[in-house]
Structure 1
Amino acid sequence: MARKIGSRYTAHRILGRGSAGTVWLGEGPDGPVALKLLREDLASDQDLAERFVQERSALLGLDHPRIVGVHDLVVDGNDLALVMQLVRGTDLRTRLEHERRLAPEAAVAIAADVAEALAAAHAAGIVHRDVKPENVLLDALSMEGPGGAPPALLTDFGVAKLIDSPSRTRATSIIGTPDYLAPEIVEGLPPRAAVDIYALATVLYELLAGFTPFGGGHPGAVLRRHVTESVAPLPGIPDELWQLIHQCLAKAPASRLRAPELAARLRELLPAVAGIPPLDIDEQSEDGYEAEQPDAAAERSGAAGADAAAVTGAHAASAEGPPAGAVPLVHGGAGPDANRDTHTSMRVPGADELAGGAHGTARAPRASGEPRAGSARNRSGVPVPVQRRRLKVGAAAVLVALVVAVGGWLASSDEETGSQPSPAAEYSSR
């Protein structure tokens, strides 16, 4: 059912929903538009409405082929809406759900488009703060680029800044999406342009691997990994591409590339990744364990009480979506409540929590069939907990056999010598 948005726009049908609001297919004076209607609780915030007006000129001034343009901002009663360019196509998250991972050439081309969008925004003094696949739109009506990738456009500029206010979020909260948050945001520093570079590098890693480098499990654990763990390398991609991703995932913001340089470097790498098929990488199973042979799985399930269960994040967008990712898992009873919704408000972990684990390396992806060192399975193909139980049982059996042998030897020795039991032995036998 159609509804009026302000005096100039009409919303016809819902195109999608997010945690910040609902996107409608709309009509304006100049033709079709996309209308992002913010949630009622946000729209009723008087401070937010004032920030809408304050940010109007900055958002309307973002004009770049790789940015979904904002044509207007509407403040009308209980309605707060962004009037945006209508892009015919889908978002990057939907494509990932269907393909799990992209060929390196397509992934690099999409990342280069987004980097160019960020370069334009950063030059205008605007930080996106929520770069992720849901906010990357793929233009299905334009000519495909390298690797068959349609042009990518970055959307939702300014929304994170609008929603993030002292009245809405305390100093101990974070606005953002856990999987893509830069370490400095977790540590409470103000978001600068480098946070977008970190998020884009995380997206590129996910396009190649099918999972994010630090995702999985409770949001607090994900935040801690961003600060304490180093990223594990991806097999099967040129070293130049891996070094680029690694640099942009640096913990120190100053060590990351700037958006213009990142865009240029990605474009230069396109010939090197042309023709490489999507990576064949093993990843964790849905229950957090790697795939096991039937006998090993049965033995493990028989001793379930002896081993801690691993909990994975269930934050894929659908039941058929990609798993949360091959990362160090959170042990214990934490529920799979991580999510990738836009503008999730999260508690900032304390200093003791961030320092709770040793500075390690995230669980390393590997080529399909290759054993993962230091994980639940070693080179013999038998899970480590199973091997430990086997060693314990074997050691106990050896000890019992040794006791029996010594006892038999002593008994035979007594018979041969005709020795009488000692008074202490007689007393104990009574």
Structure 2
Amino acid sequence: MARKIGSRYTAHQILGRGSAGTVWLGEGPDGPVAVKLLREDLSSDQELVGRFVQERTALLGLEHPHVVSVRDLVVDGNDLALVMDLVRGTDLRTRLDRERRLAPEAAVAIVADVADGLAAAHAAGVVHRDVKPENILLDMQGPVGPGGSHRALLTDFGVAKLIDTPRRTRATKIIGTPDYLAPEIVEGLPPRASVDIYALATVLYELLAGFTPFGGGHPGAVLRRHVTESVVPLPGIPDELWQLLVQCLAKAPASRLRASELADRLRELLPLLAGMPPLDVDEPDAEPAEQGGEDALSSGPAQAAGPPVRRRGAVPLVPGARPADSNRDTHTSMRVPGPDELAGGARGTARAPRASGARRPGSARNRAVARRRRLTLAALTVTLLAAVGAGAWLAASDDEPGADPRDSNSSVPATP
């Protein structure tokens, strides 16, 4: 059913839903558009509406071939909407769900496009703050690029910043998607351009491996890994690409490349990656959800007790989010964990990827296998010792002269 959005736009059908709002296929004075209608509770927040109007100039002025342009911002009664260019294609999460991982050449070409878009945004003083596959659109109408990639465009500029108003988050909250959050955000520092580089490097790792470097399991564990763990090498990629990933996933923001540098370096690597097939690696074993009463680090419900669940990609934190949603935003307000919380949890190679079919040392599965082997060996040892003891006793009984076979304990010769 069609609905009016302001005086200039009509929304015809829903393209996708997310935690921040609903994306509609709309029509405007200049043709088809995408309309992101924010949730009613957001549109009724007067502080957020004021921030929305303040950001209008910056968002409308952001024009780049690899950025989904914002054409208009609508404030009309209970409606708060971003009117954007309509991209004929799909989002990168949908492609990942279908293919699990991409060939390195295609992955690098897509990320180089996004880095170009970020460079333009950062030059204009705009930080995206929520770079993830859901916010990267692939233009299927345009020409095919390296490795069969399609032109990539970054969307949803400004949404995280709009939601992150001082009254909502104060100094103890963070906004974002856990798998892609830079360590400085987890530690409560203000977001700068370097957080987008960290998130984009995480996306590149996910495109290559099929899973994020620090994701999986309880959201609190994900946040800790960003701060305490080092990224583990992916087997099978050129060292030049790996060193680039390591630099952009550095814990210190100053150590990361700028967006323009990242785009240039990635494009220099494309000839080296030509024809390389997708990596053949297995996802690390999922870890059990950590218990701690109510979920202190996330606004979502606590996970039920039970066996570990294998996860791939972002940890969904939106209660009731459905896998069928084509735009699964996970903007979520989370408490900034304290130093003692960040100090706990697994470290080092807790989520080390490995070659396909190989087992990761120290994994829960390997520990269970080792326990079963030890129990089996102990049982066999006991059985063997019992058999040896019984055999020795029988041999001694048979060799004793005049022993009465009816009395195994007799040592007195029988009377004839």
Compute the displacement of 1:285 (Å): 7.2
Determine which of 334, 350, 356 is the counterpart of 1:368.
Answer: 356
What secondary structure sits across from 1:143 in the alignment?
strand
Q: Specify the alignment match of 2:120 in structure 1.
A: 120
* Contact 1:215–1:313, Cα closer than 8 Å, also in 2: no
* Contact 2:173–2:335, Cα closer than 8 Å, also in 1: yes
Query: TM-score, normalized by length of structure 1?
Result: 0.80
Q: Which residue identity does 1:98 align to in structure 2?
A: R
1:35-114 matches, cutoff 5 A: 35-114=35-114
Q: Which residue identity does 2:87 align to in structure 1?
A: V
Q: Specify the alignment match of 1:352 in structure 2.
A: 340
Q: Which residue identity does 1:389 align to in structure 2?
A: L
Q: Specify the alignment match of 2:137 in structure 1.
A: 137
Compute the displacement of 1:336 (Å): 13
1:120-199 matches, cutoff 5 A: 120-199=120-199
Per-residue CA deviation, residues 306-325 of structure 1 (Å, 9 max, x unaligned), is: xx9652365xxxxxxxx359
What secondary structure sits across from 1:127 in the alignment?
coil
* Contact 1:186–1:348, Cα closer than 8 Å, also in 2: yes
Identity of aligned residues (%): 76
Per-residue CA deviation, residues 147-181 of structure 1 (Å, 9 max, x unaligned), is: 11100000000110010012222432210001111
* Contact 1:201–1:249, Cα closer than 8 Å, also in 2: yes
Q: Specify the alignment match of 1:311 in structure 2.
A: 308
Per-residue CA deviation, residues 103-162 of structure 1 (Å, 9 max, x unaligned), is: 111000000001111111111111100000000000011101101110000000011001
Q: Which residue identity does 1:205 align to in structure 2?
A: Y
Determine which of 365, 375, 382 is the counterpart of 1:389.
Answer: 375
Compute the displacement of 1:26 (Å): 0.9
CA distance in 1, matches of 2:12, 2:368: 58
* Contact 1:230–1:362, Cα closer than 8 Å, also in 2: no
Q: Specify the alignment match of 1:419 in structure 2.
A: none
Q: Specify the alignment match of 2:402 in structure 1.
A: none
Q: Which residue identity does 1:367 align to in structure 2?
A: A
CA distance in 2, matches of 1:336, 1:165: 24
CA distance in 1, matches of 2:255, 2:85: 35
* Contact 1:312–1:336, Cα closer than 8 Å, also in 2: no
Q: Specify the alignment match of 1:31 in structure 2.
A: 31
What secondary structure sits across from 2:166 in the alignment?
coil
Per-residue CA deviation, residues 286-318 of structure 1 (Å, 9 max, x unaligned), is: 898xxxxxxxxxxxxxxxxxxx9652365xxxx
CA distance in 2, matches of 1:199, 1:313: 22
CA distance in 2, matches of 1:148, 1:106: 6
Q: Given the superposition, is the C-alpha separation of residues 393 and 184 from structure 1 closer, same or farther in structure 2, using an over 3 Å criterion?
A: farther
CA distance in 1, matches of 2:7, 2:148: 41
**Superposed CA RMSD:** 3.2
1:229-378 matches, cutoff 5 A: 229-283=229-283, 311-312=308-309, 323=312, 341-357=329-345, 359-376=347-364
CA distance in 2, matches of 1:188, 1:19: 22
Q: Which residue identity does 1:388 align to in structure 2?
A: R
Compute the displacement of 1:371 (Å): 3.6
Q: Given the superposition, is the C-alpha separation of residues 194 and 399 from structure 1 closer, same or farther in structure 2, using an over 3 Å criterion?
A: farther
Q: Specify the alignment match of 2:411 in structure 1.
A: none
CA distance in 2, matches of 1:87, 1:223: 33
What secondary structure sits across from 1:167 in the alignment?
helix
Bigger mean CA offset, 149-158 vs 209-218: 209-218
Query: TM-score, normalized by length of structure 2?
Result: 0.83
CA distance in 2, matches of 1:398, 1:251: 55
Compute the displacement of 1:359 (Å): 3.7
CA distance in 2, matches of 1:173, 1:402: 67
CA distance in 2, matches of 1:19, 1:156: 13
What secondary structure sits across from 2:244 in the alignment?
helix
CA distance in 2, matches of 1:403, 1:193: 74
Gap runs ≥5 in structure 1: 289-307, 315-322, 328-334, 412-430
Per-residue CA deviation, residues 359-409 of structure 1 (Å, 9 max, x unaligned), is: 42342212223343332456xx98223223334445655787899899999
CA distance in 2, matches of 1:76, 1:237: 51
What secondary structure sits across from 2:199 in the alignment?
helix
CA distance in 1, matches of 2:249, 2:394: 66
* Contact 1:88–1:140, Cα closer than 8 Å, also in 2: yes
CA distance in 1, matches of 2:287, 2:384: 36
Q: Specify the alignment match of 1:215 in structure 2.
A: 215
Q: Given the superposition, is the C-alpha separation of residues 250 and 42 from structure 1 closer, same or farther in structure 2, using an over 3 Å criterion?
A: same
Q: Given the superposition, is the C-alpha separation of residues 287 and 51 from structure 1 closer, same or farther in structure 2, using an over 3 Å criterion?
A: closer
- Is 1:206 the counterpart of 2:203? The answer is no
Per-residue CA deviation, residues 201-224 of structure 1 (Å, 9 max, x unaligned), is: 110011111111111111111111
**Number of matched pairs:** 378
